[in-house]
A and B are shown apart, each in its own frame.
Chain A
């Protein structure tokens, strides 16, 4: 598969350069062009070869002939030379008489001629020439014989003369033969050459073709070879580059590793399998304060906290058993300055790595992190403001305490500061926080070290008492807590008492659930609140039922205004002397579908607490005004009756109250002076400045203001002057006292006198007996209300009463003496 990839092409090959064998590239088959060229070349070379061999045979034949001719012509030259020398000897003979010399020359010429005969065998020209000169040679021989016989000068002359033409003929014949031989040779030679030239042309042509084809093949091969070499070179260089890159990467990684190790903020240590330390990185100096070298000498385990040593040894032993990286472990290590650092260590087992052969421990200082963790844990379980335990930790403690068996009962106190909201709203959150901190401190001061105080949120605190003897003992602590909180607390220059409602619930380890215990304490705390605040209640199972009802009521209360379940009853206020009705106090009732008619005490505080008082109050205001309007319309001839409406503290705090009053008056087209708003005394003292402003606004509308339940609140009467009050309603408690003893009567008298002094209209509440009414008249109080005159009546009944009394002469009530149940508002 790899091989095929390589053959796919240069791109594929180059991409996988690392795995290509360069020789494979070069061994690829040649292309068809090269094959064709090589074939043509081989054929051409064979043909040329044959032609050359043929030419060679021809040439060698020619050169053989040439050699023979040369031999022969050379001999002819010799013959001619000898003939000429003989001629010279013959010419000289008469003077020299050297017949021996002539005869020697004659012999030498004869020898040359004999040689010529041998060489020219088969040559017609040679044999013809020999034949031609033979008579001349005989003549010369005979002349020489004659001269030898008669060597006289005269005879020598004669014989020389006789020989002269003979030798000349021999010379000419030989010369002619030479010329003929030469001509014949060159003629034959040119014929041969001519015959050869055509075949040589072919040879030259073919050789040219061989060259051309060879050149083409060479070029083609060169190109291919070049390409192949280029590819192989590319492949090789790519491979080399890759290897270099790999080496660079390796080197870089080594350097990086080294620099990581050397510059790491962590301490890198290399440890043998037996626990001996071989190496510490330089950072050990910074992290632990030791010199790396000095550290190698001692036993490294001595640096570890004694409690952690066993764990460290196990960690190293386990790391040595398994390859790979361990999970992080933390332990304490001693810094050179003696402090203990929390360190976190990870071990990598590189025992098999030939470069390391050890465990590589990576240790870092996590003290800061540990501290932060502890801080976070503390934050998670503690209240940031007071430093007490928070709800989470408290619940956990309670669970924990319940899980511990046989350590005695335990108790939970739920503490809710009373009216904390007032502090917060009037003095600001900073003051509220100060108060909470102070409360927390005081709370803690009442407790034993084993007990837990917690802030559950807002103004809610809780206390866990462990090992309490019984509920009474827990109640004793609750009482102590209340007393401690009561001690005056200085805040922004005033002294404020801290009041609280406490719920106490006890539990038994192994028997009770934490959740239930906490809920019980909570229920008891609510019971304390509902029971009038600033007190504690021990949990009782019945409280659950109350609580449930209360919760149910709460839920129903949300919709009471828009479900038409509210009704208004009216109680008349009369002139004590005449019994004439002058005013009517509107009193709200909840016509509960299952519980029947509920008085305001049963649901108004709850509505106030839950912030539901607004809609209820507005409804009351509007309905009372509308009814007053209807009665005016119904009894146009009678003097108009004032209508009284009660305002709760929460309503007064609401800035929208003034607008609501205006709207109610306008809707009912009621004159403002016919509306009297009743306010409880305790409401006024909570925030005098704000109340003063609000009352002035209301007063500005033209309505009248009355203090309800006067005498039950705080004794400071200065506010009576500061507020624009028109009327005091004297509480039933004082009315009840009239006639029972001197002191009580004096108290009632004083109040009435006070109202006179301040020029306030006094109205007595809760008059049940005629004697009381008579006494009040005597004391100077002209108006009053109570069962003596009429209990609160539904609208229809009231209308009927008014109509009946009017018929008798104008709203006068007959005085009754029958005892009545207490339903007075």
Chain B
């Protein structure tokens, strides 16, 4: 008797649950990264590290950092050209490019390294990135550190022009959960504000 009722209830609940799941048009989670996905590899430690003065850029300015920073070279802003960026510790990362849907070998600096060079204070919580086309993405400072997101200056060994998502763009390792959202892969980054 008890068993019959229990069986019936279980079946009913299962049926309802399945029906509910089936009824909802739930987006499928994107497929995980390829098995050979790798984390950022250090290419060289560079010459520009945290605590060092960052000289004013000689070339074209690709990134202007402002807000809660301890290092500046133009007023309260820290202006960086590609050369400055490439003097910082360089890392390499192969990742799935979500728009082109192929693997690309990126090179650049870890955004966290950049924040350190810029003298971002511990109290800072948010990093706001703006692209040339005014596209804007906000990250939490903690996420920046934990996700090993990277500001790439090269793709497949070459600098990236604007029509190649350049000159600098944010990329994520395959393992990063943030990277699964393609909207966060902001390209043609031009400014960064720390708050």
Q: Is B4 an interface position by the 8 A CB rule?
A: yes
Q: Is A110 an interface position by the 8 A CB rule?
A: yes
Chain A residues, Cβ within 8 Å of B142:
none
Chain B residues, Cβ within 8 Å of A218:
8
Q: Interface residues, chain A, CB within 8 Å of chain B?
A: 26-28, 30, 34, 38, 41-42, 45, 48-49, 52-53, 55-56, 59-60, 62-64, 67, 71, 75, 82, 85, 104, 106-111, 113-115, 117-119, 121, 207, 210, 214, 217-218, 221
Q: A114 contacts B164, CB within 8 Å?
A: yes
Q: A45 contacts B15, CB within 8 Å?
A: yes
Q: B19 contacts A207, CB within 8 Å?
A: yes
Q: Is B32 an interface position by the 8 A CB rule?
A: no
Q: B25 contacts A111, CB within 8 Å?
A: no
Tell me the nearest residue of chain B to A119, going by C-beta: B99
A41 in complex: contacting residue of B11, B19, B165, CB < 8 Å: B11
B28 in complex: contacting residue of A49, A67, A119, CB < 8 Å: A67
What is the distance, in angstroms, from A592's C-beta to the closest C-beta of chain B?
113
Counting from the closest, the 6 A-B pairs by CB-CB distance are A107-B162, A110-B163, A118-B100, A115-B99, A107-B163, A52-B22
What separation, in Å, do the CA atoms of A212 and B132 have in the docked complex? Answer: 62
Tell me the nearest residue of chain A to B20, going by C-beta: A52
Q: Interface residues, chain B, CB within 8 Å of chain A?
A: 1, 4-5, 7-8, 11-12, 14-15, 18-19, 21-22, 25-28, 97, 99-102, 132-133, 161-165, 182, 187-188
Chain A residues, Cβ within 8 Å of B164:
110-111, 114
Chain A residues, Cβ within 8 Å of B132:
104, 108
Chain B residues, Cβ within 8 Å of A30:
1, 4
Q: A108 contacts B8, CB within 8 Å?
A: no
What separation, in Å, do the CA atoms of A42 and B182 have in the docked complex? Answer: 45
Chain B residues, Cβ within 8 Å of A109:
163
Q: A49 contacts B26, CB within 8 Å?
A: no
Q: A114 contacts B100, CB within 8 Å?
A: yes
Chain A residues, Cβ within 8 Å of B22:
52, 55-56, 59
**4 extra interchain contacts, Cβ-Cβ under 8 A, other than A45-B11, A52-B22, A118-B101?**
A30-B4, A38-B7, A52-B19, A63-B28
What separation, in Å, do the CA atoms of A64 and B29 have in the docked complex? Answer: 9
What separation, in Å, do the CA atoms of A791 and B161 have in the docked complex? Answer: 207
What separation, in Å, do the CA atoms of A115 and B26 have in the docked complex? Answer: 26
Chain B residues, Cβ within 8 Å of A28:
1
Chain A residues, Cβ within 8 Å of B15:
45, 48-49, 207, 210
Given A49-B15, A52-B22, A63-B28: A82 and B133 interface contact (C-beta under 8 Å): yes
What is the distance, in angstroms, from A32's C-beta to the closest C-beta of chain B?
13
What is the distance, in angstroms, from A618's C-beta to the closest C-beta of chain B?
110
Q: A49 contacts B18, CB within 8 Å?
A: yes
Chain B residues, Cβ within 8 Å of A119:
99, 101
What is the distance, in angstroms, from A79's C-beta to the closest C-beta of chain B?
12
Q: B28 contacts A60, CB within 8 Å?
A: yes
Chain A residues, Cβ within 8 Å of B97:
118
B163 in complex: contacting residue of A49, A85, A111, A221, CB < 8 Å: A111
What separation, in Å, do the CA atoms of A821 and B164 have in the docked complex? Answer: 202
Chain A residues, Cβ within 8 Å of B18:
48-49, 52-53, 56
Q: A214 contacts B8, CB within 8 Å?
A: yes
What separation, in Å, do the CA atoms of A117 and B102 have in the docked complex? Answer: 12
Given A45-B15, A64-B28, A111-B162: A38 and B4 interface contact (C-beta under 8 Å): yes
Tell me the nearest residue of chain B to A62, going by C-beta: B25
What is the distance, in angstroms, from A52's C-beta to the closest C-beta of chain B?
5
What is the distance, in angstroms, from B98's C-beta to the closest C-beta of chain A?
9
Chain B residues, Cβ within 8 Å of A60:
28
Q: A111 contacts B1, CB within 8 Å?
A: no
Q: Could you pull out 14 A-B pairs where Cβ atoms are within 8 angstroms? A: A30-B1, A30-B4, A45-B11, A45-B14, A49-B14, A49-B15, A52-B19, A110-B164, A111-B162, A111-B165, A114-B164, A115-B100, A115-B165, A214-B8
What is the distance, in angstroms, from A225's C-beta to the closest C-beta of chain B?
8
Given A59-B25, A108-B132: A217 and B163 interface contact (C-beta under 8 Å): no
Given A108-B133, A114-B164, A119-B99: A63 and B14 interface contact (C-beta under 8 Å): no
Residue picked from B4, B7, B15, B188, most chain A C-beta under 10 Å: B15
What separation, in Å, do the CA atoms of A179 and B6 have in the docked complex? Answer: 54
Chain A residues, Cβ within 8 Å of B133:
82, 85, 108
What is the distance, in angstroms, from B2's C-beta to the closest C-beta of chain A?
9
Tell me the nearest residue of chain A to B101, going by C-beta: A118
Chain A residues, Cβ within 8 Å of B12:
45, 214
Residue picked from B18, B22, B26, most chain A C-beta under 10 Å: B22
What separation, in Å, do the CA atoms of A214 and B13 have in the docked complex? Answer: 12
Tell me the nearest residue of chain B to A110, going by C-beta: B163
Chain B residues, Cβ within 8 Å of A210:
15
Tell me the nearest residue of chain B to A116, going by C-beta: B99
Q: B99 contacts A118, CB within 8 Å?
A: yes
Chain A residues, Cβ within 8 Å of B21:
52, 56
What separation, in Å, do the CA atoms of A557 and B184 have in the docked complex? Answer: 163
Chain A residues, Cβ within 8 Å of B165:
111, 114-115
What separation, in Å, do the CA atoms of A75 and B98 have in the docked complex? Answer: 12
Chain A residues, Cβ within 8 Å of B188:
107-108, 111
Chain B residues, Cβ within 8 Å of A117:
100
Chain A residues, Cβ within 8 Å of B101:
118-119, 121
Chain A residues, Cβ within 8 Å of B102:
118
Chain B residues, Cβ within 8 Å of A56:
18, 21-22
Q: A63 contacts B162, CB within 8 Å?
A: no
Q: A67 contacts B100, CB within 8 Å?
A: no
What separation, in Å, do the CA atoms of A28 and B132 have in the docked complex? Answer: 79
Tell me the nearest residue of chain B to A228, going by C-beta: B1
Tell me the nearest residue of chain B to A64, going by C-beta: B28
What separation, in Å, do the CA atoms of A59 and B26 have in the docked complex? Answer: 9
What is the distance, in angstroms, from B141's C-beta to the closest C-beta of chain A?
28
